[in-house]
Structure 1
Amino acid sequence: MNVLDTKIQKKYLNMKNTRIGKLTLILLFTLAIVSCSDDFLDQTNPNELSTDSFWKTVGDLNTGLVATYKSYGSDNNYKLLDELVRSDLAWGSGYQRPFNTNEFYLQNFNEASKSPGDKWSQLYTTIFRANQVIEAVDRLKGTFNSQNDEDEAEVIGAQARFLRGFSYFILSTTFNNGKVVIWEKVPGGEDGFYRDVSPAQDVKDFYRADLEYAKTKLPAVWEAREKGRVTAGAAEAVLGQSYLADNDFTTAAEYFKNVINNYGYALTPNIGSNFTTMDELNEESILEIVRSTDYKSELNQWDWRDTGASSLQQQLTGIGGWFGGVAANWLILEYRNDPLDYSDPRNKIIEEDGTERFRKFSLRTSYSVAIVDDPDLEYYGYKTTAEAASFNVRMTCYWRKQTNWDLGVESEKALSPGKVRSGVNQRLIRLAEIYLQYAECLIEMGDVDEAMMYINKVRRRSGVQLLGLSGTGEYPANDHDDISYDATSLMDHLRFKEYPLELSCEGHGATRNTDLRRWGIKKQRFMELAAKRYTAIDYPYTKEDGTTATRWGSIVVGVDPSDPTADDGWNEYQEAAANYVESEHAYWKIPNSEAITNPVIGEN
């Protein structure tokens, strides 16, 4: 039996009792000698590992945990791009605009759609592996030869409890109104392999218990060689997010405040440290999937054991990419208009001839996305972004996040020729997100000034103009927008500017959809965006060799719907506004693949 992956358990054979007459006693005696006893049938296959024979040492536990971490690192757990394009943040189809057949962008997905099935299956694979580790830890507890081994086993179990709890958190916020199947142990035995879904609150209670346990047993930090493992701070952050998903702002705020104050996290000086291979596992990182292209290069590129098995960068890159996801037009305009703090020296550029000017776009914009007319941050080794990538196909912006634009290579493919791999760690939770989520809680609790302080911490890190009246707040000398905010206006800013500008195209996928759902505005949001109209203008530029060229229609511009220059080819969200039905599309449904193989769910 493959201990880590199979769901097949031993089935015991029962011998049938046969009535034997007196005239068959000799035959009975003969059969008794050669017949199958229960003990004989229950012999362990010496060529296979069993649960009892495999789990013996702390090393065995750690082997199982490594397999669980590998499963937790799969892109299928998060489906970031599919979640992105079913929100209000992105357009993506694999085709050039305006053609689109993406069922998630169009909001016509259903229980037969492939991605929900992949996500469901992968999350339960992670849970299955975690359960094996948890059961083995519980069984072996008290049998080790040293206290160090006992302590290490306990921490291994706490990591497995976190990974199981985190998987259920994602299932709960993604599928079937939070009603999913709870497996607290490895399937089999008297309970069989099939269970019905549990009530949403039972699911929350179950995974929160896992996370609370992990919070008390896991370290706050790991030694350098162990960095990347889950921590107590990560458990507390996910707990806060779970209560935020319920709009329980008071409870969520308690967890977020502890994360901010008690674990030593800090915003990185450069926001760009959070998006590429630069400065991975930094002081801002709370939960992060570690990837590398330095190992397992001999494997097939889709092999789950590959430490760089991710196609995410190929979906996002502006060079030879697959157009899997590009920023929505409204979001591009927000990035283009992210206002500078002119008092911040980082926003001042000194040209080669000694002249001074200000940056054209904010640091947050430049490190998050590649825009055709950004002169201040190179892209794949080109000083001019326009020269590096084509912007002539109604693609006016590409995400820099999750890609290797900073390494100076022509394409991601240069890192692993002939394969689609990525060494960029996937940041699932970072401190800036917790600051903003804590700010939302504070707004809902009536503390607008404190909420603005945390939003401004995030903005100041990127040299962006601060919110509020000039000369006020934590940083009175910095530029402010000189607006007096109340709870309503600050919440609107947080929802439609700060959250998307800071956090788009990162995290564990479902956050934006969870937010739109809990705010009760997703249908309304699609309708508002469907009413917007755009056009585009050309961008002439000079190449590094001194020649000139033009990127046609490469700068998107918002216009009034009555403007004759409005181009229907730039319209967005028309289908989403028409197709979205809260009861059908707020969550992914339980996949058909589960209903077909699980008769308990299928019958219901």
Structure 2
Amino acid sequence: MKKYMYAKLLIALAIILTVTSCQKDWLTETNPNLISTDNFWRDTKDLQTGLTAVYKAFSSSQNHALIQELARTDLAWANGFQRPSNTNPYYLQIFTNAETPINNKWAANYTTIFRANQVILAAEKIIPTLTVAADIELANKILAQARFLRGFHYFNLYHSFNEGKLPIFEDVPVNEADFYKPLQTAETVKNFFLADLQYAVKNLPPTWTGKDKGRVTAGAAEALIGQTYLYENKFDVAAPYFKRVIENYGYKLMPNIGSNFTTMDELNDESILEISYATGYTDNYNNYDWRDVASTAGLQLQFTGVSGTYFGAVAANWLIKEYRNDPMDTQDERNYTIDKTTGNKRLRKFSQRTSWSVALVDDIDMPYYLRAETGQAANFNVNMTCFWRKHTNWDLTRGENILSPGKVRSGVNERLIRLGGIHLQYAECLIEMGQIDEALVQINKVRRRSGLQLLGLVGTGEFPTNDHDNVSYTAETLKKHLRYKEYPLELSAEGYGCERNVDLRRWGVKKQRFQELAARRYYAQHFVVKDEITGNNVTRWQSIVTEVTPTDPLANPAWNEFQEAAKNYNEAAHAYFPLPNGEILTNPRLYENIVN
């Protein structure tokens, strides 16, 4: 055996010497046994593998920084152990470019862009070589998906960072210098990602079926284009995109709003853009392993009321109050139930939209973590008066950790865009264009789905026999309702993270909003619930929020919200996330083009 091996080595050496004598540049030859960008991308199978990697990057929760984005708006009191303790820099409006989530969001979005660029360049190279019609069609769909995903992540970065001025990558870095790109103007960045999204509109299917369900679609691309123009307050430009999304793609409002928040009815008819997660695979990976196909960000533990004493996002008092007072339509039979004590028919305690969105201690009609009454499952105490149901598995388990013991995993899909939101954004465009009656139609479609009292004069509109609030709305009053009731109650804590901040910013009201909320005062009432295990009455101390006038002696002086935000918020410093310090320190070309 040794003689045989030596003989092979001598032959190999002779070949090497021959090659050396005949070809001096032999060191530049490519080793065919090494995988590189030159030899990996050969056919549609390789394109599919690459696209899977793009979707995997797309699924990272760091792309959205939902907890931090929520905390920097008027929707959340943010985190801490118990009110009024709060050191959250986003809630206090004192965040800097050194914050880890800001750096992670930047890096995660550019990671997805980098992977998408690999697929785009490879597809553009491979498609002209294909001869089979089915392969050409498949490759073109892969290219369209990759361009959508690149466009979406630039859309996300554009609305989140540095007034939209960003480095643009449209190639794959080969050497170190290629990783460094200068800032481009916001207009250049916007035109770049809009070109990707327009390409996706023309080349993606309206829907996918079977195992492909959940892939990005032409309808999602149209929605993002419409939102881009809405966020610039170009209402007449945005409106046709929203109208086409509503009418041309087969989307439908689900009868139950709860179909959009749990593992129930995922990828449903209302879903426009959604990240799919599952817990039935790869459960042997550690807590934050990137290969896991479940959600590993721990969102559910930061939103729920059963995770312990740490809460990443707690609904603001004004929002809790609005959820508690969301008016129901008494003509809708879904709003009635049978009283457990008397056996008589009665109206629900809270609206369906409220009960599916948040957990309130005195919601006696909706179970919470498999307990008969909401107040039995969580420690509603010391001014912790509300927890999110969104993003959590409250309908499946008695505790989040039971699903994956010792791990932070969830199979709840993240719905980034859904039809309910598009109806409301279309309504905003219509209000600004002076079409109040049609705007009411769009809003009332969303309200009627949840059995809510409709807006407008009694006996008017698309559903004249349903309860109406009997208000004659003007453009200003309807705009105010949409901003501070409809948008937050329907869409709070959802989406790709930055929507509420973008809205407050483009309306020009963010500091004013913090000042207004800082002037409000509250106190909390106690609530008694029977423990289902012991049968004993348990008092949930200070668990029902009540708003009072500033001079009311019941007002809790230690429970004021947004005091620091009202003082600290500065449009120049906090309207956008700043360029991350990681990018500033490592990119020598960042300011090569001075962008004003």
TM-score (norm: length of structure 1): 0.93
Assess if the C-alpha contact under 8 Å between 2:19 and 2:26 holds in 1: no
| 2:298 equivalent to 1:311 | yes
Inter-partner Cα distance in structure 1 for 2:202 and 2:138 = 14
Q: Residue 52 of structure 2: SS of its match in structure 1? A: helix
CA offsets 1:488-538 (integer angstroms, 9 cap, x no match): 000000000000000001100000000000000001001101111110110
Match of 1:350 in 2: 338
Match of 2:6 in 1: none
Inter-partner Cα distance in structure 2 for 1:307 and 1:36 = 52
Q: Residue 526 of structure 2: SS of its match in structure 1? A: strand
- Structure 2 CA distance for partners of 1:36 and 1:64, relative to 1, 3 Å: farther
| 2:572 equivalent to 1:583 | yes
Q: Residue 179 of structure 2: SS of its match in structure 1? A: coil
Inter-partner Cα distance in structure 2 for 1:258 and 1:311 = 36
| 2:159 equivalent to 1:159 | no
| 2:83 equivalent to 1:94 | no
Shift of 1:265: 0.3
Inter-partner Cα distance in structure 2 for 1:371 and 1:74 = 30
Shift of 1:155: 0.3
Match of 2:429 among 441, 465, 469: 441
Match of 2:66 among 73, 80, 96: 80
Match of 2:226 among 228, 235, 240: 240
Inter-partner Cα distance in structure 1 for 2:314 and 2:72 = 12
Inter-partner Cα distance in structure 1 for 2:400 and 2:591 = 43
Inter-partner Cα distance in structure 1 for 2:87 and 2:23 = 61
Inter-partner Cα distance in structure 2 for 1:582 and 1:450 = 34
Q: CA RMSD of the aligned region, Å?
A: 1.7
Shift of 1:602: 6.0
Match of 1:225 among 211, 231, 237: 211
Inter-partner Cα distance in structure 2 for 1:570 and 1:186 = 52
Which consecutive unaligned segments of at least 5 residues does structure 1 have?
1-30
Assess if the C-alpha contact under 8 Å between 1:439 and 1:450 holds in 2: yes
- Structure 2 CA distance for partners of 1:595 and 1:45, relative to 1, 3 Å: farther
- Structure 2 CA distance for partners of 1:39 and 1:64, relative to 1, 3 Å: farther
Inter-partner Cα distance in structure 1 for 2:399 and 2:176 = 53
Q: After TM superposition, list the pairs within 5 Å mapping 1:43-58 onto structure 2.
A: 43-58=29-44
- Structure 2 CA distance for partners of 1:124 and 1:387, relative to 1, 3 Å: same
Assess if the C-alpha contact under 8 Å between 1:134 and 1:160 holds in 2: yes
Match of 1:64 among 31, 46, 50: 50
| 2:587 equivalent to 1:598 | yes
Inter-partner Cα distance in structure 1 for 2:115 and 2:21 = 38
Match of 1:463 among 426, 443, 451: 451
Aligned letter for 2:577?
Answer: W
Q: After TM superposition, list the pairs within 5 Å mapping 1:530-549 onto structure 2.
A: 530-544=518-532, 546-549=535-538
Assess if the C-alpha contact under 8 Å between 1:271 and 1:364 holds in 2: yes
Inter-partner Cα distance in structure 1 for 2:345 and 2:62 = 47
Inter-partner Cα distance in structure 1 for 2:117 and 2:284 = 30
Assess if the C-alpha contact under 8 Å between 1:299 and 1:306 holds in 2: yes
CA offsets 1:187-228 (integer angstroms, 9 cap, x no match): 236972211110001101000000000011101110121111
Assess if the C-alpha contact under 8 Å between 2:79 and 2:314 holds in 1: no
| 2:309 equivalent to 1:335 | no
Assess if the C-alpha contact under 8 Å between 2:83 and 2:383 holds in 1: yes
Inter-partner Cα distance in structure 2 for 1:260 and 1:51 = 41
What is the aligned length?
Answer: 573
Shift of 1:46: 4.6
Shift of 1:458: 0.5
Aligned letter for 2:380?
Answer: F
| 2:110 equivalent to 1:124 | yes
- Structure 2 CA distance for partners of 1:143 and 1:391, relative to 1, 3 Å: same
Shift of 1:247: 0.7
| 2:567 equivalent to 1:558 | no
Assess if the C-alpha contact under 8 Å between 1:596 and 1:602 holds in 2: no
Match of 1:25 in 2: none
TM-score (norm: length of structure 2): 0.94
| 2:471 equivalent to 1:516 | no
Q: Residue 589 of structure 2: SS of its match in structure 1? A: helix
Match of 1:6 in 2: none
* Structure 1 stretch displaced more, 490-499 or 137-146: 137-146
Inter-partner Cα distance in structure 2 for 1:41 and 1:523 = 63
Which consecutive unaligned segments of at least 5 residues does structure 2 have?
1-16
Match of 1:500 in 2: 488
- Structure 2 CA distance for partners of 1:37 and 1:299, relative to 1, 3 Å: farther
Assess if the C-alpha contact under 8 Å between 1:543 and 1:549 holds in 2: yes
Aligned letter for 1:178?
Answer: G
| 2:98 equivalent to 1:112 | yes
Q: After TM superposition, list the pairs within 5 Å mapping 1:83-482 onto structure 2.
A: 83-188=69-174, 192-308=178-294, 309-321=296-308, 322-352=310-340, 353-407=342-396, 409-482=397-470
Shift of 1:310: 2.8
Shift of 1:450: 0.4
CA offsets 1:257-316 (integer angstroms, 9 cap, x no match): 000000000000000000000000000000000000111111112111100123111111
Assess if the C-alpha contact under 8 Å between 2:167 and 2:590 holds in 1: no
Aligned letter for 1:338?
Answer: D
Aligned letter for 1:553?
Answer: Q
Match of 2:516 in 1: 528
